[in-house]
């Protein structure tokens, strides 16, 4: 048990979590050894009648609504789930296990059933179990209700830590061929959607990404440079290594003709050019951390990028007409609702300065336009079925598309787009990409899965697609921003100085378990009207089109339910407990509405006006009970001296749970 108790020092040594800010982010720091890289979490097997699926699961947790598929590869309906793996423990420990949620669940530890519950979970708890050191086998068997809705979280508690979800960092599993194949099929399914394959091969519209359109071509002639469009169409992957746009022309002449036609598609009022300051734009570029997603120079050291796919900016300067780049930076989703480009809500001046900076990165200059025929270009646009992926074309440039069944492609030896043969679009696909697409299309169950939708898996795909790991640490993986920020320091006129604790974007290890779903949705939509960390130079971008489902999916990953609604009108004793006299002294680091903190240390804590809006009740109480269990580097004090006794004997008779609940209710009253 001693090893489980000494979580702080061990967590620093093993790097279970990275720097996170007080009361804003969460991570698990339960002592023990991390599971081997690539095998953290559990193996989840799902069955529904005769159909089955297997995938990795970060924890023994899920939330599935009625009518929602439990898996991307299974339809909606009643299901069975089995989580298998091991819990890695350093030394002999004594703990209790329990469930949260509803349905039917059984827990097996080291092959022995130790807990079973039906209906609403939480009424039972396992007997005190002794866990021997090493890899302790763990297995959870779960059945949903008859309509396919279900929720589960595997919890535990020990002598010196209160009930909490069993952390992913201490869970591990063994991989096998079936799991590897499932991951390959999922990769192929994602590529099928991202590459807009459903534009020509109808497989259903349940998967959100499958319905997303490419950038609109309406008014494109007023936004993009003609010679740039011709060069792009000639070979997109030559200008952007990881371009999703395929090559659809047979020659430079065809590309020039299409570009000439697209140039005729003008907007009613072209964007007005505003002069910008490239030097100031470089500072904004550095402050926003744009280098985490963009390569600014050819030959830049890509070893620091990890698994990311940086988008080159040294071809972007000649892409836009005057004023159009600044307009794009101001509103990235205006002509492309599903764009991955973040909306940072930049000002007019910031947009103009950034545009001037980006234009300065393009050293090549504009190429001379060759022979071109806009009439012929229009015919090519129609015959290439450009309207299948792009809207905004005049009706006379739109051709009807005859969908090709996916089953037919599989039987035909996976030719066409995968091989670039004939007149098919030519994608710049790696051999692994081709293998993944082939595995997906050769599986009848996988092809049918395009009709399915699971929020948790959607959130996982979007976390990668939107490059969230560029700025945020999650599950012990450091943000790429920390490794590459020095590359843009010169643009700001100096060397990059890494900030201390609380001065970097928050850790997202347990984001769905910590933040209220409705608050996350407003955050992603840019509707909060405030920032929780005004001292950070980096900004949280807006993702309008994905906000609702992304927020719901993040919560579903952690098996959380609805947060209890309880707001009391009285402000005491919570206000007293917050204060410097007779309270815990929270006011030293935390502001509360208009009141400013009075004695800030390394970095200020978040304003508590926002805490009641944002934090889930369960997470709040876990944090207040033992902050360093979540963040071993936090300067937030621990106020509990015994199981439910704090450093204050009054008010509320020193009952820690009641005292912390009083502070929570007071915080919730601040925005009323």
Percent of the chain with pLDDT strictly greater than 90: 60
Q: Is 229's pLDDT higher than 70? A: yes
Place of tokens 């939480």: 122
For residue 400, the model assigns a pLDDT of 79
Per-chain mean pLDDT for the chain = 86
The pLDDT-based confidence of 271 (bands split at 50, 70, 90) is low
- How does pLDDT run across 283-308, given as a tens digit for each residue? 999 999 999 899 998 888 766 776 66
Query: For residue 220, what is the enclosing H or E element?
Result: none
The dihedral through the CA atoms of 590, 596, 601, 606 has a sign that is: positive
For residue 7, the model assigns a pLDDT of 30
3 state DSSP class of 615 = strand
The dihedral through the CA atoms of 461, 467, 468, 470 has a sign that is: positive
Average pLDDT over residues 348-364: 92
Cα separation, 158 vs 337, in Å, equals: 48
Q: Is 450's pLDDT higher than 80? A: yes
Nearest to 488 by CA among 277, 306, 284, 291: 291
Average pLDDT over residues 56-85: 96
3 state DSSP class of 588 = helix
Encoded tokens for 194: 């991202």
Cβ-proximal residues to 466 (8 Å cutoff; 6+ apart), any chain: 340, 342, 543, 546
For 216-316, list the strands marked E by DSSP. 294-295, 311-312
The dihedral through the CA atoms of 621, 624, 625, 629 has a sign that is: positive
Nearest to 47 by CA among 29, 84, 74, 27: 74
For residue 371, the model assigns a pLDDT of 67
Average pLDDT over residues 44-58: 94
Delimit the CATH 3.90.182.10 region(s) of the chain.
Answer: 32-173
For residue 380, the model assigns a pLDDT of 96
Place of tokens 């749970």: 657
Nearest to 288 by CA among 522, 24, 505, 604: 505
Chain Cα centroid distance, residue 498: 24
Of 114-128, 190-204, 572-586, the range with the lowest mean pLDDT is: 190-204
- How does pLDDT run across 401-435, given as a tens digit for each residue? 766 666 655 565 556 777 777 778 889 899 999 99
Of 3-12, 451-460, 631-640, the range with the lowest mean pLDDT is: 3-12
Cα separation, 590 vs 78, in Å, equals: 47
Cβ-based neighbour number of residue 19 at 10 Å: 23
Cβ-proximal residues to 177 (8 Å cutoff; 6+ apart), any chain: none
The pLDDT-based confidence of 656 (bands split at 50, 70, 90) is very high
Nearest to 623 by CA among 477, 535, 510, 530: 510
With b for 16 or more beta-carbon neighbours within 10 A and e for fewer, the 136-150 pattern comes to bebbbbbbbbeebbb
Cα separation, 661 vs 246, in Å, equals: 56
Q: What are phi and psi of 539, to 5 degrees?
A: -125, 145
Domain spanning 180-213+401-451: CATH 1.10.760? yes
Cα separation, 177 vs 45, in Å, equals: 14
Pairing mode, if any, of strands 93-109 and 294-295? unpaired
Instruction: Answer with the residue of higher pLDDT: 265 or 632.
Output: 265
**42 has which bridge partners?**
57
Q: Is 369's pLDDT higher than 90? A: no
For residue 568, the model assigns a pLDDT of 60
Q: What are phi and psi of 542, to 5 degrees?
A: -105, 140
Q: What is the DSSP letter of 299?
A: T
- How does pLDDT run across 492-524, given as a tens digit for each residue? 887 666 666 667 888 999 899 999 999 999 999
Q: What are phi and psi of 636, to 5 degrees?
A: -65, 125
Q: Is 31's pLDDT higher than 50? A: no
Q: Is 200's pLDDT higher than 70? A: yes
Cβ-proximal residues to 237 (8 Å cutoff; 6+ apart), any chain: 243, 247, 428
Percent of the chain with pLDDT strictly greater than 70: 87
The dihedral through the CA atoms of 455, 456, 459, 464 has a sign that is: negative
Average pLDDT over residues 202-207: 73
The dihedral through the CA atoms of 105, 107, 111, 113 has a sign that is: negative
Delimit the CATH 1.10.760.10 region(s) of the chain.
Answer: 574-669
End-to-end CA distance of the chain: 45
Q: Is 467's pLDDT higher than 70? A: yes
Instruction: Answer with the residue of higher pLDDT: 555 or 10.
Output: 555
For residue 10, the model assigns a pLDDT of 30
Nearest to 195 by CA among 552, 437, 393, 374: 437
The pLDDT-based confidence of 26 (bands split at 50, 70, 90) is very low
Cα separation, 669 vs 121, in Å, equals: 31
CATH architecture label of 32-173: Alpha-Beta Complex (3.90)
CATH topology of domain 574-669: Cytochrome Bc1 Complex; Chain D, domain 2 (1.10.760)
Q: Is 205's pLDDT higher than 90? A: no
Q: Is 234's pLDDT higher than 80? A: yes
Q: What are phi and psi of 357, to 5 degrees?
A: -65, -45
Q: Is 18's pLDDT higher than 80? A: no
Average pLDDT over residues 157-174: 93
Of 136-140, 561-565, 602-606, the range with the lowest mean pLDDT is: 602-606
3 state DSSP class of 320 = strand
Nearest to 234 by CA among 220, 251, 219, 218: 251
Average pLDDT over residues 66-85: 96
Cα separation, 34 vs 367, in Å, equals: 54
For residue 366, the model assigns a pLDDT of 61
Average pLDDT over residues 546-569: 87
- How does pLDDT run across 115-161, given as a tens digit for each residue? 999 999 999 999 999 999 999 999 999 999 999 999 999 999 998 88
For residue 119, the model assigns a pLDDT of 96
Asked if 560 contacts 578 with a C-beta cutoff of 8 angstroms, the reply is no
For residue 14, the model assigns a pLDDT of 27
Nearest to 50 by CA among 77, 23, 27: 77
Q: Is 11's pLDDT higher than 50? A: no
């Amino acid at each position: 048990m001693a090893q489980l108790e000494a979580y702080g020092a061990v967590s620093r040594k093993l790097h279970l979590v990275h720097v996170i800010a007080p009361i804003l982010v969460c991570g698990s720091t339960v002592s023990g050894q991390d599971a081997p890289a690539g095998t953290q979490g559990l193996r989840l097997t799902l069955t529904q009648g005769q159909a089955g699926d297997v995938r990795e699961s970060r924890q023994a947790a899920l939330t599935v609504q009625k009518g929602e598929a439990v898996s991307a590869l299974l339809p909606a309906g009643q299901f069975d789930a089995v989580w298998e793996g091991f819990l890695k423990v350093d030394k002999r420990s004594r703990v209790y296990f329990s469930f949260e949620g509803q349905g039917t669940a059984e827990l097996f530890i080291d092959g022995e059933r130790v807990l079973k519950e039906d209906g609403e979970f939480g009424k039972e708890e396992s007997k005190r179990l002794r866990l021997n050191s090493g890899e302790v086998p763990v297995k959870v068997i779960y059945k949903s209700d008859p309509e396919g809705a279900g929720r589960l979280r595997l919890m535990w508690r020990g002598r010196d830590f209160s009930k909490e979800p069993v952390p992913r960092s201490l869970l591990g599993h063994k991989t096998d061929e079936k799991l590897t194949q499932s991951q390959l099929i999922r990769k192929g399914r994602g590529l099928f959607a991202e590459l807009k394959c459903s534009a020509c091969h109808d497989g259903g519209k349940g998967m959100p990404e499958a319905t997303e359109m490419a950038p609109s071509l309406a008014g494109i002639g007023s936004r993009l440079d003609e010679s740039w469009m011709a060069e792009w169409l000639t070979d997109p992957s030559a200008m952007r290594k990881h371009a999703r746009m395929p090559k659809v022309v047979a020659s430079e002449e065809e590309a020039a003709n299409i570009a000439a036609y697209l140039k005729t598609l003008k907007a009613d009022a072209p964007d007005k050019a505003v002069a910008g300051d490239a030097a100031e734009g470089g500072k904004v570029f550095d402050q926003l951390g744009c280098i985490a997603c963009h390569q600014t120079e050819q030959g830049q050291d890509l070893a620091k990028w990890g698994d990311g796919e940086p988008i080159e900016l040294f071809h972007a300067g000649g892409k836009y007409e005057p004023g159009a780049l600044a307009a794009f930076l101001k509103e990235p989703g205006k002509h492309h609702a599903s764009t991955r480009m973040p909306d940072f809500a930049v000002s007019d001046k910031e947009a103009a300065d950034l545009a001037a900076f980006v234009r300065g990165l393009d050293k090549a200059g504009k190429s001379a336009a060759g022979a071109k025929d806009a009439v012929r270009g229009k015919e090519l646009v129609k015959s290439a079925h450009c309207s299948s992926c792009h809207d905004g074309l005049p009706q006379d440039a739109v051709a009807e598309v005859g969908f090709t069944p996916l089953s037919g492609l599989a039987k035909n030896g996976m030719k066409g787009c995968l091989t670039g043969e004939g007149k098919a679009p030519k994608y710049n696909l790696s051999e692994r990409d081709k293998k993944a697409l082939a595995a997906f299309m050769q599986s009848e169950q996988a092809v049918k899965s395009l009709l399915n939708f699971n929020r948790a898996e959607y959130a996982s795909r979007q976390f990668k697609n939107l490059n969230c790991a560029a700025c945020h640490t999650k599950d012990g993986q450091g943000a790429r921003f920390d490794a590459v920020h020095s590359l843009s320091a010169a643009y700001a006129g100096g060397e990059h100085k890494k900030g201390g604790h609380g001065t970097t974007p928050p850790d997202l290890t347990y984001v769905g378990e910590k933040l209220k779903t409705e608050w996350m949705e407003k955050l992603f939509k840019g509707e909060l009207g405030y920032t929780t960390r005004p001292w950070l130079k980096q900004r949280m971008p807006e993702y309008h089109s994905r906000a609702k489902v992304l927020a719901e999916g993040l919560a579903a990953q952690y098996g959380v339910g609805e947060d209890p609604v309880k707001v009391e009108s009285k402000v005491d004793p919570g206000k007293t407990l917050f204060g410097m006299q007779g309270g815990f002294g929270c006011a030293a680091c935390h502001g509360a509405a208009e009141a400013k903190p009075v004695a800030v240390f390394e970095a200020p804590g978040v304003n508590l006006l926002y805490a009641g809006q944002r934090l889930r009740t369960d997470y709040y109480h876990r944090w207040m009970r033992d902050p360093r269990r979540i963040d071993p580097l936090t300067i937030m004090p621990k106020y509990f001296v015994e199981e439910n006794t704090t450093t204050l004997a009054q008010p509320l008779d020193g009952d820690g749970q009641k005292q912390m609940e009083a502070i929570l209710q007071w915080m919730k009253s601040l925005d009323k």
